[in-house]
Amino acid sequence: MPRKPTKPDYYHTLLRSRGDIADYLESIGGYYSAHGRHGQSYFAFNVKCHGARLDFEHLIEVHRNGGYYGDEEIWIDNPEWLEQARANYEEIERRLFDWGVEDAARLITDSDCYNHLYDGTRIEVEYLWMGRSGGHVGVGEFEGFDFSADVGRDYWREVFRGNPHRSGASAWRDWDRTFPTMDYPTLRKLHTLVVMLAHDLTPETAAAEVEHHAAFRFVEGACADIPRHDAIRQPPPLAEWRPAPSEGAWQALPSAIGGGRFDHLRSRAE
């Protein structure tokens, strides 16, 4: 039976009460553009990657350390390869940022990275790109709840805290039926997801992801036609040596090359 991966400390969810979880979720902050022209969501994460480094030397280093370049490979340090790669870089440099952003964005919307929790639990979630340049990632729908709806933040706080916590409400008869019910297991899953997103979706992690994908597209795409001579480091040649002939070999030598003409060699060996 496969073992579940150990959860890193930064993914731990220590809160248990609905009130504490509601306070945490409210602290994340959202994104609300004027009249919703550029999107809106109760949860928003800034992924603007203005700090991404896409200079030639850094891209080579990122690819070298990105897991695609074997320890025994040496072609990326070949001066001839580097010279041709630099010429390609000058031709496509202006496109690298877009390449990196496109591929990094697919991890959010077109992969399984964030439609599962860390322990493998699948969740129903849709993400939004918000802002004039798409610099924020928002949670659209989650398990049937639409966090992009045009409602105030107090509305969602009431949903998270649940009924009957409201002032003067002491029994189920006093619940405010205008608020949907989010059961505790769903609230816990939402809490776990938001903790993951708050750690993973930052300007720093976004910049690193863009660099990683831009480096891959550059080296494995734009430079794929450059010959990779000396791709594998060859082991040093062994020192030349010749084993001493065995006794049987010495005995067979005269008969093989003409009778007793070399008997003195055999007697010397004996």
In a shared domain, residues 208 and 247: no
Nearest-angstrom CA–CA distance, 51 and 149: 32
What is the per-residue pLDDT across 103-119, written as a single tens digit (0 to 9) for each? 999 999 888 999 999 99
In a shared domain, residues 263 and 153: no
In a shared domain, residues 56 and 137: yes
The mean of the pLDDT values for the chain is: 82
In a shared domain, residues 164 and 251: no
List Cβ<8 Å contacts ≥24 apart for 202-208: 202/45, 202/46, 202/47, 203/46, 203/47, 203/48, 203/49, 203/50, 203/51, 204/51, 205/47, 206/47, 206/48, 206/49, 206/52, 206/104, 207/49, 207/50, 207/51, 207/52, 207/53, 208/52
Tokens of 47: 């992924």
- Residue at 256 is within a domain: yes
Q: How long is the chain?
A: 270
Give the residues across from 128 on adjacent strands: 138
Q: How far apart are the first and last CA of the chain?
A: 66
Exposure of 60 in the CB half-sphere (CA atoms within 13 A): 18
In a shared domain, residues 129 and 168: yes
Mean pLDDT of 116-127: 95
In a shared domain, residues 207 and 254: no
In a shared domain, residues 212 and 166: yes
Before 164, cis peptide (omega within 30)? yes
In a shared domain, residues 197 and 256: no
In a shared domain, residues 154 and 255: no
- Residue at 229 is within a domain: no
Asked whether residue 269 carries a pLDDT value surpassing 80, the answer given is no
In a shared domain, residues 247 and 191: no
What is the per-residue pLDDT across 54-95, written as a single tens digit (0 to 9) for each? 999 999 999 999 888 877 888 998 999 999 999 999 999 999
Domain enclosing residue 107, as ranges: 15-222
- Residue at 95 is within a domain: yes
- Residue at 235 is within a domain: no
- Residue at 231 is within a domain: no
In a shared domain, residues 102 and 209: yes
- Residue at 6 is within a domain: no
pLDDT value of residue 263:
45
Number of domains within the chain: 2
- Residue at 75 is within a domain: yes
Report the range of poorest mean pLDDT among 29-33, 98-102, 168-172, 248-252: 248-252
In a shared domain, residues 191 and 58: yes
pLDDT value of residue 58:
97
- Residue at 202 is within a domain: yes
Asked whether residue 174 carries a pLDDT value surpassing 50, the answer given is yes
